[in-house]
Amino acid sequence: MRRFSPVASRVAFSLAGAWAAYLLLIAATGWLCHRREPVPSLGNSGANVAAIPASPDGSFRFAVLGDPEERPYVFTGLMRQAAAAGATFAIIPGDLVDVPAEADFAYFAREFDGLGEAKLPTFSAIGNHDLVENDPSLFRRWLGPEWFSFVHGRVLFLFVDNNDASNDPRCVEFVRSELAAHEGAFDRSVLVMHRNTIDCVVRGRPVHAADRGEWIAEAFGETPPAAVLTAHYHGYLRADDERTLWISTGGAGGDLQAPGERFHMVLVDVKPDALVAEEVPLDGTVSLMGDAEHMLAVSGWRDVYGSPVRTAASIALLAALALAARWAGARARFVPPA
């Protein structure tokens, strides 16, 4: 006679098989979707500056794409639009990744590298999501120095880390030193950083952000920047005054933070007498398949394989399920009657 049904054995085997298949899927997706080295066209380097096409008359167009974070495929879609619209390079005001892990930077680099001919020279400020407990080492490995500047078309671009208010004195010092070092080589300057300097409403909650830019007047003195480009707020904000264009653009992939916001980039036209900026929406929609691939290739890979503890836990779970299946199978065998 059979005292126990084999159902328990089948359930245990099925659970073990499903978990093993999940781990294999993550491993395969991670292997296919990750790269191990930085992309030459992505990052703050002199070689990348040299790759920007020359602008003899001082007129050029560049794109600003903030907060790619959860949806790198939105960023790449916008980058293709930027290249088609004649942008010669791109700027990211921080938060390339949602979680500052090797897998996340590697996945973003892989997506960027897949742009092919639409791969514009791209520079980036460092965002709060790009820091590992205030450590920029991972950002530096994939993107280069977070304190960076270059001159193109007689415009000085300055990248600073304003994620913590304690960095304000260093921001002042860096800006002053770069303005002095490039004196005579530029007519206007553009400041790029992550934290927004325009008051906003995030998911119904007012956020006072203007004080994050109080140090700017001290740093630039009587010659304020022609533009201040930030992100952090996942949407679009703009404030113009007589001398400076203030833009916050965080719509290149992160979860939008207010009704009416849309995925977008900003195209900036630099002309001899002005800077003209335009919000350009994503030509397309979000993709469930894109979200699923990102989850598997980044989140799953990071959570299961990025931590020795989680790896050990996964192996232990598989072992426990296999033992349970074996025990259930043994109990379900024929046994002689008492």
Tens digit of each residue's pLDDT (9 = 90 or more) over 192-225: 999 999 998 998 889 888 888 999 999 999 999 9
Domain regions of the chain by residue span:
1-33+307-338, 46-289
102 HSE (CA, 13 A, CB side):
8
200-202 vs 205-207, strand pairing mode: antiparallel
Burial of 32 (C-beta count, 10 Å sphere; 0-12/13-18/19+): exposed
Task: Specify the higher pLDDT residue, 4 or 86.
Answer: 86
Burial class for 220, CB neighbours closer than 10 Å (0-12, 13-18, 19+): buried
* pLDDT score at 1: 47
For residues 64-70, give the mean pLDDT: 95
pLDDT-derived band at 121 (thresholds 50, 70, 90) equals: very high
Find all residues with CB under 8 Å of 159, minimum gap 6, and list them.
44, 123, 124, 125, 146, 147, 148, 149, 192, 193
For residue 45, pLDDT beyond 70: yes
Are the C-beta atoms of 230 and 64 separated by less than 8 Å?
no
Rounded distance between C-alpha atoms, residue 280 and residue 275, angstroms: 16
From the candidate CATH numbers 3.20.20.70, 3.40.50.300, 1.10.150.130, 3.60.21.10, the one assigned to the domain spanning 46-289: 3.60.21.10
Sign of the Cα torsion 108, 113, 117, 120 reads positive
Q: How high does pLDDT run on average in the chain? A: 86
8: confidence class by pLDDT, cuts 50, 70, 90? low
Q: How confident is the model at residue 4 (pLDDT cuts 50, 70, 90)?
A: very low
User: How crowded is the C-beta side of 239, counted as CA atoms within 13 Å?
Assistant: 12
Average pLDDT for 263-268: 98
Coil, helix or strand for 261? coil
* Residue 91 Cα to chain centre, angstroms: 12
pLDDT at 5 exceeding the cut of 60? no
Interval 279-287 mean pLDDT: 86
